[in-house]
Every structure is written in structure tokens, then in C-alpha cells.
Amino acid sequence: MKAMVLDGPCRLEDNPTPLKLMVLPDPVPAEGEILVKVTVCGVCHTELDEIEGRTPPPRFPIVPGHQVVGRVAAPGPNARIFANGDRVGVAWIFSACGHCRFCRSDNENLCPDFKATGRDAHGGYAEYMTVPEAFAHPIPPVFSDAEAAPLLCAGAVGYRSLRLTGMTDGQTIGLTGFGASGHLVLKMVRHRYPATRVFVFARSAKERVFAQELGAVWAGDIGQACPEMLDSIIDTTPAWKPVVEALKSLAPGGRLVINAIGKEDGDKDELLRLDYPAHLWMEKEIKSVANVSRRDVGEFLSLAAEMGIKPEFEEFALEEANQALVELKSRKIRGAKVLRIE
């Protein structure tokens, strides 16, 4: 099979083609696994974190990609949930132990044996992949393959982030960064919380225009003063400066949810600007999002189908994966990016 393979960590500025097109043996499903013939795979900022060493794979080489849509090509021994030809999705959560207190409470994203697709196991930047069938998800028929792919990570983790804000209808919410996850959260808020006003902070003027096209009442630069204090803010950026800036706009008792698997070190000095009275006093909270659970993925797919949420996206060929990643790194974004494998 064809696959785009990462041999080791590097800075994208130093090596803009970190993934190499290779021909690998077709994988064989083990006990309880299914073989998936991949049709599309979304491109996520987490792939940049893997490549640049912020969340490195435990071994190399590795096939990245964790927003996978395809069809079951073969069941492994004792795999009985899906039939050949069924359309399935594979998200960031590849497996968990199933026995710890986190797994028993539907918080398997916190499991100490959590394994991630495309990091701890080969992912979807390839023609085939295997996955435990209990961690594959049926795709609602309302979505095309390319529409479904970004929902499996950007949508699901956005859904978890929104749940963790604890917000209610009529409160205000801010979105810091406006890529694949941010634009899906805005669509969710507009549907589920019609009385809530959304404020967006983004570096790119194009992203700010896009946010207002989707219904944001205001969009400004990262360091720009917000016209109102906000009850909740979700940060999806890879940097520290937006976190500090967001705290300035957080209302007393408000909650900042950081939806990022890692932060880059380039602006770590920004944390030295953290001022307790100005940024954290008055019972403000900071909460992180760690991975996603199967519940998040399943609930969000059902919700997205019910709401008619469909992401904006642009397609690339599998061989163009490096180009898609470079564009993501340089913030050339309008919605999501998806690799067409077939």
C-alpha cells in the first residue's frame, strides 16, 4: 500500500517535506480488529505536534493521520460489529484499557493506557489501516467522506471543549484561533445556544472575515480588546500569547478551556506577563482538554447529523500531505484540510 511516513522529528521550517511517500505491506487485522480501506483522512495541527516533537510518537517510522474515513475491507478474528463494505470513521482515540476508573466512567481519554491513532499506531495517511473495531464509528449517511473526516477530531474535540465550558444559552463565548475546530464550534453554538453571542480572536484577517460570515458578532486580532467581558473562551491556538490575552477578556467566574495537545516554546516568555490580579483573580478558571473519548465522537457525529453541521474543507491528494501541513503551519486556513487517498 502507499503511505506517507514520518521517519523522525524535525522542524518544519528546516524540512518542509518531513513525510515520505513509501510502499508498505498491507496491514493484517489482529483479534478484534478490522482492516479499513481509507478513502480520506483529515489533516490536523496535532500532526505538526508529532512532527516537531511536542507529542512525539514512541517509535518511528510512523504513518500519521487520525481523522480517517473508509470502508471495512476485512474483519479480523472475532470482529463482529461491522460487515465488509461498512463505512467507518477512526478518530484520535485508537484504544484504551477498558478497565480503569476513567474507562468505566466514559472518560477513557484520561486512561493511562490511552493510545492515539497516527501516533501510537499507524494512522490514515495510507491506503489501509487497522483499528480495534470497538473504537471505529459508523458514519451518518448525511455526510460525504470528506465532510465526515474533520468531524472526527476538530468537531469531536470542539464538542468536548464546549461541554467543558459549562456554558448556558445567553452567555457570551470567545473563540481564540479560528481553524478547523473553531469554525465547527461556532456552528454548534449558533445552533444549540441561539441567544449566545460569539466573539472570535484570530491573527488572520481572512479568518476574521470567515468568522463573521458564519455568524460571529465580532472578530478581532489576538491582542485586540474585546468589546465585552466573556463568560467562556475556548483557545485552539498552538501558542501561549493567546492564552494570556484571552484571560484579559474573561469575566469574573469565567472559564478558559485550552483545546491544544501542546504549546510551542517560541513564545513561552509570554507566560511571564501573567498577572494574578489582572488575569486570574475573581475566580477565573483555566481547564485543559485531553484527547477525546468514544462518547465525544459518537455524540458529536449524531449531533452534527441532526444539526446539519458540515465543515468547510479543501482537498489534497495523499502525495500532497506535506503541502497541506506547510499551509496549516503558515495559517493558510479556511476550515479544514482533507487528504483524498483513493
User: pLDDT in tens for each of the 342 residues of the chain?
Assistant: 999 999 999 999 999 999 999 999 999 999 999 999 999 999 998 999 999 998 999 999 999 999 999 999 999 999 999 999 999 999 999 999 999 999 999 999 999 999 999 999 999 999 999 999 999 999 999 999 999 999 999 889 999 999 999 999 999 999 999 987 888 899 999 999 999 999 999 998 999 999 999 999 999 999 899 999 999 999 999 889 999 999 999 999 999 999 988 787 788 888 888 889 889 999 999 999 999 999 999 999 999 999 888 888 899 999 999 999 999 888 776 778 999 997
Query: Same domain for 134 and 170?
Result: no
CA distance linking residue 131 with residue 237, whole number of Å: 29
Same domain, 323 and 221: no
Length of the chain: 342
Could you tell me which residues come within 8 angstroms of residue 211 by beta carbon, excluding any fewer than 6 positions away?
175, 178, 182, 183, 186, 198, 200, 202, 219
Number of domains in the chain: 2
Are 199 and 321 members of one domain?
no
pTM above 0.75, yes or no: yes
Could you identify the residue written with the cell 503551519? 329
Closest to 181 in 3D by CA, of 12, 324, 332, 333:
333
Question: Helices 294-307 and 156-165 meet at what angle, rounded to 10?
Answer: 100
Do 114 and 166 belong to one domain? no
> How many other CB atoms sit within 10 Å of the CB of residue 182?
31
211 is a domain residue: yes
152 with 311: CB under 8 angstroms? Answer: no
CATH number at residue 21: 3.90.180.10
Which set of grid coordinates corresponds to residue 28? 493484517
Q: Closest Cα partner for 73 from 130, 5, 116, 16?
A: 130
Residues 218 and 174 in one domain: yes
Residue 7 C-alpha cell reads as 521517519
**Calpha distance 290→293 (Å, rounded):** 9
